[in-house]
């Protein structure tokens, strides 16, 4: 069986990783894996139980009761399945996003989910996005991108995204949460957010979605010859 190709897209919260990775996957015929959604699913599970993501003993006590899997619908959209339930939409809140950042710093959680992510890359050609894909999860990925933008631009985008979904969003609050998330992700002891040495940095602050997709596709084609 031919070796599968993996494209890793890392970057801070709100940089547009999911949107860009999903578009690229569709254009290239790859499988898109949103790893942030995987950690959100764990955070959501703990939240339902009333367990704080900072409660290491509580997390360890209940983690064995959690099963997480990924399915795809006919349009290629990733669905997160938690103990047999589709929680794809339930996990998309700012509160769960913040808790996911804390959950992702737990070594037990990371160990549990690492095989799930790597197995996807063994079975399919994947575009996988997250915080540590190119540095930890798939260190041998064929292409590595570090996608970023200024905190202010990311906050504006996230606010608009939440409002489009009918959720109440305050720009200043979202900006503060993004800055807090950046700090948490880059200062955690386990697999902190950082640019892999062989990753290409793409700043999306002045680019629209089409521009970002075109920029990254050119990088990808240069490395894998498509």
Q: What is the mean pLDDT of the chain?
A: 92
Quick one: average pLDDT of 185-212?
Answer: 92
- Mapping DSSP onto H, E and C, the string for the chain reads CCCCCEEEEECCCCCCHHHHHHHHHHHHCCEEEEHHHHHHHHHHHHHHHCCCCCCHHHHHHHHHHCCEEEEECCCCCEEEEECCEECCCCCCCHHHHHHHHHHCCCHHHHHHHHHHHHHHHHHCCEEEEECCHHHHHCCCCCEEEEEECCHHHHHHHHHHHHHHCCCCCCHHHHHHHHHHHHHHHHHCCCCCCCCCCCCEEEECCCCCHHHHHHHHHHHHHHHHCC
> In this prediction, what percent of the chain has a pLDDT beyond 70?
98
pLDDT at 28 over 70: yes
Q: What is the pLDDT of residue 14?
A: 86
Q: How confident is the model at residue 176 (pLDDT cuts 50, 70, 90)?
A: very high
> For residue range 35-67, what is the model confidence (pLDDT) as tens digits?
989 999 999 999 999 999 999 999 999 999 999
Cβ neighbors of 162 (< 8 A, separation 6 or more) are 94, 168, 169, 174
Q: How confident is the model at residue 1 (pLDDT cuts 50, 70, 90)?
A: low
Q: What is the pLDDT of residue 219?
A: 96
Q: What is the pLDDT of residue 147?
A: 97
C-alpha 170/C-alpha 81 separation (Å) is 30
- Mapping DSSP onto H, E and C, the string for 90-118 reads CCCCHHHHHHHHHHCCCHHHHHHHHHHHH
Q: How confident is the model at residue 79 (pLDDT cuts 50, 70, 90)?
A: very high
């Amino acid at each position: 069986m031919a070796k599968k190709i993996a494209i890793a897209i890392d970057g801070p919260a709100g940089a547009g990783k999911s949107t860009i990775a999903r578009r690229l996957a569709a254009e290239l015929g790859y499988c898109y894996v949103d790893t942030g959604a995987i950690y959100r699913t764990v955070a959501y599970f703990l939240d339902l139980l009333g367990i704080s993501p900072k409660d290491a003993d509580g997390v360890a006590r209940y983690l064995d009761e959690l099963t997480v899997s990924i399915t795809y619908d006919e349009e290629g959209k990733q669905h997160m399945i938690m103990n047999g339930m589709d929680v794809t939409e339930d996990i998309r809140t700012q509160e769960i996003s913040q808790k996911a950042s804390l959950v992702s710093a737990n070594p037990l959680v990371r160990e549990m989910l690492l095989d799930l992510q790597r197995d996807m890359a063994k079975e399919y050609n994947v575009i996988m996005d997250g915080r540590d894909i190119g540095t930890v999860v798939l260190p041998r990925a064929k292409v590595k991108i570090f996608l970023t933008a200024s905190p202010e631009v990311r906050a504006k985008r996230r606010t608009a995204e939440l409002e489009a979904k009918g959720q109440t969003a305050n720009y200043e609050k979202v900006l503060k949460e993004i800055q807090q998330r950046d700090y948490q992700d880059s200062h955690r002891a386990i697999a902190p957010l950082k640019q892999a040495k062989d990753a290409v940095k793409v700043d999306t602050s002045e680019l629209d979605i089409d521009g970002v997709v075109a920029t990254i596709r050119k990088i990808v084609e240069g490395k894998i010859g498509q």
